Homo-oligomer: A and B are copies of this chain.
């Protein structure tokens, strides 16, 4: 199996383990011929090989790096050791990404999509097919930047997605090869990075912290903390973020770094492992000309450090154009120009549309394409002309062939200091890889938790607002239901208090939806490249939510318990507090789950409010269990509010010595309530005679147990109510985990 790869193993092989295994990879497909994507061959040899390369490199570079790190002034040279290499070594083993005849079409679906992932095309019989890419070909070289240009809807982002392996294999036709070899998904994840258009960052972390967390997630555990820090510092310099390193990212409510700096941080997060291929979707969108230029300048630096940079770009300025090495102009999925910006004037000259003197070349080209698109004939002539022109160019230049195999190129690249990565995926793998994630489960949990706590602690107003909401309701309830008495009316009011209080705990959880949704996008970006396990995210996020829930539940319980005059003393308070805590836990799990399903804030909030209203309706407060129609009883048991409501009711009414209706009060809720007390006493006396028991004004007619029976609360004990509430919380966390599994697939179909 190790076949031809074995022959290429490096000269030096150290059998023992080492302290810096920078590159773990399990297998890759190594098909030398340029064939359309086929099933990959499994081979673990490359991984071993690369590890050995790593060993070799360590031996020869540690001393050099140690020297560099010793002198704190030469930060640029330290950064050099991580990212850039002498020009001579770059040219010695260049990477070439080729793509040939890429074609991709989608069936047009219906428009209205309230839920986030109904992403699969429905199997309607008569659907239109739209061609997004139509036979697009090209080549990108190491050290160069390639830009994809075109109007919106021309297929720019689709081409980037196709190259970045973000389109399902069976949908995309054509071939994509790196140094002549088809890239496998797991390999692609290790050696490439994809930077999304949106900056999804924790607002309250500093630039340095943000990059450091990325390093902790994505660089292998075996790399020492000191070395991770060095990598982050080098990256900060490379990104030109030195002056902003200690500034928080910021959001609408908090002043932070500028838009251009934020974009560079986003790029930094994704290139922490120093990838060979970097894809970017509109890296300059929304930036002013200077910021945009600086972003592209940073990308150029990255390319020159031995990477291929491929980006889509909307409206490049004159100065940015000067930095780009290769352009592809798309029009409705067709290539209308590909090549160096230098040849653009010649191309349009030959197409009989010369670019006027002094005019911005790309602007002219984009406008001409636009005009052709709007004309009757369309861009057909231009597409055809480009094909001929390109064929001629290829003939003139000869085919610049790659004579370095992928493995050799990677080996050379690693020995120059590239690929600080430990992340690789074992999907579509037949035997277990040695490491899919950089860190073990428990470290991931600690890092995720640390980051989340750091971010929350810097915006205490979020907890403050939730506490405010809980306390306002608590104080209103406490003053409204002050010192309820033990009478038939008092009993009814207790029921109302418990129903309202339990619903409140659930409703206040709904306020956290925007925070969850914001985090979800960060999560989706990070798990797309296996920064951590989904399970450790769910678990860590669950655990760190608990302290604040304890705080909220404690405040609410303390505000209301004694003010309303609830029974049970200290143990009664403890159970009341625990039930409220369990409700907060179940409620926040439920809202977390919903925020995983519904992506729109407003829709999420509406749905939560409606569902909670139905939960309350079916809880047994409005209509007791024994009187709910049989066809609705299932929903009664689904109602999250039922369990804490019944729990606190039992806590309140379980004391058999407590009396809620005494002799004379039996007439309170009847027309006899108005007769004088003397008559009531006579009535009691005569009734005593009939029943054969002695009923006086003080005789207890209704105990708490009787009330529980009347309310139909007989099926579950109070502690079971508590445990069931807690279990609901866990259930929704598990559901949340599955929504993340399904929802965070980020490939197009």
Q: Which residues of A contact B (CB under 8 A)?
A: 111-112, 151-152, 253, 255, 288-290, 293, 314-315, 317-319, 358-360, 363, 366-367, 370-371, 461, 469, 476-477, 479-482, 488-489, 493, 496-497, 500, 504, 507, 511, 514, 601-602, 605-606, 609-610, 613-614, 617-618, 621-624, 627-629, 631-632, 661, 666, 669-672, 675, 679, 682-683, 685-687, 689-691, 701-702, 706, 710
Contacts and interface: CB of A to CB of B under 8 A. Distances in A.
B476 A319 contact: no
Given A111-B253, A317-B360, A507-B609, A631 B493 contact: no
A514 B605 CA distance: 13
Contacts of A622: 493, 496-497, 500
A628 B602 CA distance: 35
Contacts of A371: 290
A511 B613 CA distance: 15
Contact of A689 (B290, B670, B686): B686
Contacts of A666: 670
B359 A606 contact: no
Contact of A690 (B507, B511, B682): B682
Contact of A623 (B112, B496, B702): B496
21 contacts: A289-B366, A290-B366, A318-B358, A319-B359, A319-B363, A319-B367, A476-B617, A482-B629, A493-B623, A504-B613, A507-B613, A601-B602, A605-B605, A605-B606, A609-B609, A666-B670, A669-B702, A670-B701, A672-B691, A683-B687, A687-B687
Nearest to A602: B601
B317 A315 contact: yes
Contact of A617 (B293, B367, B480, B661): B480
A692 to B, nearest CB: 10
This chain: how many copies in the complex? 2
B315 A288 contact: yes
Contacts of A669: 488, 669, 702, 710
Nearest to A314: B288
A366 B685 CA distance: 99
B370 A290 contact: yes
A50 B469 CA distance: 60
Contacts of A610: 469
A108 B691 CA distance: 81
Contacts of A481: 623
A369 B722 CA distance: 65
Nearest to A632: B480
A670 B363 CA distance: 86
Contacts of A629: 479-480, 482
A406 to B, nearest CB: 38
B691 A675 contact: yes
Given A151-B288, A671-B706, 9 more contacts: A289-B366, A315-B317, A481-B623, A482-B629, A489-B627, A496-B622, A500-B617, A601-B602, A670-B701
Nearest to A604: B602
Contact of A602 (B293, B318, B514, B621): B514
A666 B314 CA distance: 80
B315 A701 contact: no
B315 A479 contact: no
Contacts of A493: 622-623, 627
- Of A314, A497, A627, A682, which is in contact with the most chain B CB atoms at under 10 Å from its CB? A627
A367 B679 contact: no
A628 B360 contact: no
- Nearest first, the 6 closest Cβ-Cβ pairs linking A and B are A496-B622, A686-B686, A318-B360, A290-B370, A682-B690, A686-B690
